[in-house]
């Protein structure tokens, strides 16, 4: 089971947008530059984030992407689901109903308990990701991003946002 | 994020082995027949289960696969990991260290907190799957498998295991 690389990119990029000065937006090319990511792939992921209502765009010379709501209102689960969808990782094909000892479908009283166990685990995973907002990510990052990078980023914002 | 179909197959097939009469084994072709699954793919999955020490083979006319330990000692997590490996679904490529504001790697004090949050969720998922053994699956299945299928399966065992 492998998660698309876009999830890592999207969370980091949304965290970058969350750290912008108020009322500022960043063009896609600049977001890609900040993390040294390829623009075409990142564009696809931002289209998904936009469709999910997590980011929005403003036009004009100072236009670009910004978060569509407060960083505290965007969870890691929402970003994950924007990119990878809401389908469970485990798909139940009801093989318990197949084979030479098969009996009428209607005789089975409920969901397959193997599927139920697998989905219970996925619910625990989702619940953890739902608890973590972009605001939490930024708060924790404050102790993990070296001061040299913080200073360089503030300087980069000045250059890129045009003072 | 999508789990290989083999996980569903392997759990069901191990549950079938767990329900065999004592000291009996089932040939791969018969296991495949029971759930109407393609033999070549199932063989690959059973090789993985065997490498992980979850099933073993016996030779001879009544030979075949059996569980390598008690059903209560085999968890859904072990079956999952036998097939899909132990690599986390979320891969951290440390993109926080890239781009025009990059600073020396050694200045970063610890793991990226985004990765840590993603892995915490995976730990919760693993913990749920670790709690469920094949014995639990069989116990629950008793209320979910129609009596007609149970009876037909006992009859099938008689035919296949050679009385």
A5-89+133-161 fold = Arc Repressor Mutant, subunit A (1.10.10)
Write out pLDDT tens, residues B75-105.
999 999 999 999 999 999 999 999 999 888 8
Residues of B in contact with A42 (CB under 8 A): none
Helices (H), chain A: 5-18, 28-35, 39-51, 76-84, 113-131, 134-141, 147-161
pLDDT given for residue B163 in this prediction: 55
Task: Kindly tell me the sign of the dihedral angle through the C-alpha atoms of B146, B147, B148, B152.
Answer: positive
pLDDT at B110 > cutoff 90: no
pLDDT at A163 > cutoff 60: no
Residues of B in contact with A113 (CB under 8 A): 137, 140-141, 144
ipTM: 0.94
Distances (CA, A) of B118 to A3, B24, B88: 11, 43, 9
Distances (CA, A) of A113 to A41, A99, A130: 39, 18, 25
Helices (H), B52-133: 76-84, 113-131
CB proximity B39 to A under 8 Å: no
d(CA A93, CA A130): 28
DSSP E strand stretches across B29-159: 55-58, 64-67
pLDDT given for residue A9 in this prediction: 97
Residues 78-117, chain B, touching A (beta carbon < 8 A): 84, 87, 89-93, 95-96, 98-104, 107-110, 112-115, 117
Q: Which of B11, B33, B84 sits opposite A114 (nearest CB)?
A: B11
pLDDT given for residue B1 in this prediction: 80
Taking alpha carbons only, the member of A161, A153, A155 closest to residue A64 is: A161
Contact B119, B90 (CB under 8 A): yes
Residue spans of the domains in chain A: they are 5-89+133-161
Is residue B61 classed as helix, strand or coil in its secondary structure?
Answer: coil
By residue count, chain B amounts to 163
pLDDT given for residue A55 in this prediction: 98
Write out pLDDT tens, residues A2-15.
898 999 999 999 99
pLDDT at A107 > cutoff 90: no
* Dihedral class, residue B23 (left if φ above 0, else alpha if ψ from -120 to 50, else beta): left
| Least confident piece of the model among A37-41, A99-103, A109-113, A125-129 | A109-113
The whole-chain average pLDDT of chain A stands at 94
Distances (CA, A) of B1 to B40, B89, B150: 25, 8, 35
- Nearest-Cα distance to chain A for B133, in Å, is 10
Whole-prediction pTM: 0.93
State phi, psi for A36 to the nearest 5 degrees: 60, 50
Contact B138, B19 (CB under 8 A): yes
- Region A119-131: what's the mean pLDDT? 98
- Region A79-86: what's the mean pLDDT? 97
pLDDT at B158 > cutoff 80: yes
């Amino acid at each position: 089971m492998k998660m698309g690389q876009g999830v890592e990119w999207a969370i980091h990029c949304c965290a970058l947008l969350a750290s912008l000065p108020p009322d500022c937006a960043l063009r896609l090319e600049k977001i890609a530059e900040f993390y040294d990511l390829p623009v075409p792939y990142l564009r696809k992921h931002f289209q998904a984030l936009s469709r999910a209502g997590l980011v929005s765009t403003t036009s004009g010379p100072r236009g670009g992407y910004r978060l569509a709501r407060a960083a505290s209102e965007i969870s890691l689960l929402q970003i994950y689901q924007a990119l990878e969808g809401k389908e469970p990782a485990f798909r139940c094909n009801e093989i318990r109903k197949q084979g030479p000892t098969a009996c009428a479908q209607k005789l089975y009283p409920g969901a397959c308990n193997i599927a139920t166990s697998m989905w219970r685990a996925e619910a625990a995973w989702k619940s953890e990701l739902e608890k973590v907002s972009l605001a939490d990510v930024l708060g924790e990052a404050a102790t993990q991003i070296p001061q040299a990078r913080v200073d360089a980023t503030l300087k980069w914002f000045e250059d890129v946002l045009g003072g």
